[in-house]
């Protein structure tokens, strides 16, 4: 069965520092992978997605992620954190063949310290 693991339920960084949120997947077939962001009292917004094209994916708000098959990872990074980046981030996976639901990680809450 497919699963997604996010290391660290809470990550705290200083404003201007590097943001690194970790995501590992477990699947016999490399899945499509996604990062979503959730602000308080809101739904999920797609930050970026990997669908078997380029392994380095750029998303909105300066975020990017790299798919590494050898490490079964899809870590999210941003060179310089901004106060507005404080939110909950979810990594998710889906089988490329479809007909299966998105599987989410438990989420990582990002705090940005001034």
Partner 1 sequence: KAGVTQTPRYLIKTRGQQVTLSCSPISGHRSVSWYQQTPGQGLQFLFEYFSETQRNKGNFPGRFSGRQFSNSRSEMNVSTLELGDSALYLCASSSDPQGSGSYNEQFFGPGTRLTVL
Distance CA 59, CA 101 (A): 22
Q: Which residues bind partner 1 (CB under 8 A)?
A: 32, 36, 41-46, 49, 51, 90, 92, 94, 96-107
Distance CA 105, CA 114 (A): 28
Whichever of 8 and 79 has its CB closer to partner 1, that residue is 8
Whichever of 23 and 92 has its CB closer to partner 1, that residue is 92
**Nearest-approach distance from CB 101 to partner 1, in angstroms:** 4
Tokens standing for 13? Answer: 């960084």
**Nearest-approach distance from CB 99 to partner 1, in angstroms:** 4
Distance CA 30, CA 33 (A): 9
């Amino acid at each position: 069965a497919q699963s997604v693991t996010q290391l660290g339920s809470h990550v705290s960084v200083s404003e201007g520092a590097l943001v690194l949120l970790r995501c590992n997947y477990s699947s016999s077939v490399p899945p499509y992978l996604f990062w979503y962001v959730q602000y308080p009292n809101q739904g999920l917004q797609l930050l970026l997605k990997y669908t078997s094209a380029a392994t380095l994916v750029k998303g909105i708000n300066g975020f990017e992620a790299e798919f590494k098959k050898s490490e079964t990872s899809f870590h999210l990074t941003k060179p310089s954190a901004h106060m507005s980046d404080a939110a909950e981030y979810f990594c998710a996976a889906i089988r490329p063949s479809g007909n299966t639901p998105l599987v989410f990680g438990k989420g990582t809450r990002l705090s940005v310290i001034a």
